[in-house]
């Protein structure tokens, strides 16, 4: 397994829509392993393929670090291939979010409490599940990456201005993260 560099918010790859995964392959399974390794190394709870330069419909997550603290259900590592959100429901809840592609920037984002999603698991078995709480939030956040959406897009113009200096530092490559960051336009070929 390898730790992959993470693409930062200012790279256009994070604004592009992703393509469906057509088939299971050794290279896909290696990418999944590498994404988990990268996520754990970065102390993240989710990671989408565009964040490592791959424009495919894939994200991984492991919310156990958060759900342990909140005494919610632990689901362990999960893989979502070609996910499709079927329904968002429940009250919109405001919680603080951050993103490995936007180091040192965190802010409150409102999202629906529940998500119903259909996806292929790591073995290409179709799954359809409903999740709530933090797990739902992580799924919605990572799904947004597959649509070219960042959590910053949910912030008001005023809130975005508050983060302007930190974002400029990221853009200039002046930000330091405890994990490797990719140069702009970094892409792997799957």
Q: Which structural domains are found in the chain, ordered by start? A: 12-171 (3.90.45.10)
For residue 36, pLDDT beyond 50:
yes
Quickly state the pLDDT bin for 146 (edges 50, 70, 90). Answer: very high
Instruction: Burial-class residue 95 by CB neighbours within 10 Å (0-12, 13-18, 19+).
Output: exposed
For residue 176, pLDDT beyond 90:
no
Compare 85 and 182 and report the one with higher pLDDT: 85
Quickly state the pLDDT bin for 189 (edges 50, 70, 90). Answer: very low
For residue 71, pLDDT beyond 80:
no
For residue 185, pLDDT beyond 80:
no
Mean pLDDT of 130-159: 96
Percent of the chain with pLDDT over 90: 79
- Which residues, other chains included, contact 189 with Cβ-Cβ below 8 Å and sequence gap of 6+? none
- Which residues, other chains included, contact 65 with Cβ-Cβ below 8 Å and sequence gap of 6+? 45
Residue in this structure with the two tokens 């565009």, named with its chain if needed:
50
Q: Are 38 and 3 in contact (CB under 8 A)?
A: yes
- Which residues, other chains included, contact 126 with Cβ-Cβ below 8 Å and sequence gap of 6+? 118, 119, 120
The catalytic residues are 142
d(CA 190, CA 176): 28
């Amino acid at each position: 397994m390898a730790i992959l560099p993470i693409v930062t918010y200012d790279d256009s790859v994070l604004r592009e829509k992703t393509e469906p995964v057509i088939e299971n392959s050794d290279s896909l399974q290696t990418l999944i392993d590498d994404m988990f390794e990268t996520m754990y190394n970065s102390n993240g709870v989710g990671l989408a393929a565009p964040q490592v330069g791959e424009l495919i419909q894939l994200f991984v997550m492991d919310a156990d670090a958060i759900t342990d603290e909140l005494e919610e259900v632990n689901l362990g590592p999960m893989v979502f291939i070609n996910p499709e959100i079927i329904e968002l429901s429940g009250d919109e809840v405001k919680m603080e979010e951050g993103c490995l592609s936007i180091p040192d920037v965190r802010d409150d984002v409102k999202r629906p409490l529940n998500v119903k999603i259909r996806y292929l698991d790591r073995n290409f078995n179709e799954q359809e599940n409903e999740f709530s709480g933090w797990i739902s939030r992580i799924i919605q956040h990572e799904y947004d990456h597959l649509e070219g959406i960042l959590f910053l897009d949910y912030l008001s113009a005023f809130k975005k201005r508050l983060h302007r200096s930190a974002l400029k530092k990221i853009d200039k490559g002046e930000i330091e993260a405890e994990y490797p960051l990719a140069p702009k336009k970094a892409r792997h070929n799957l």
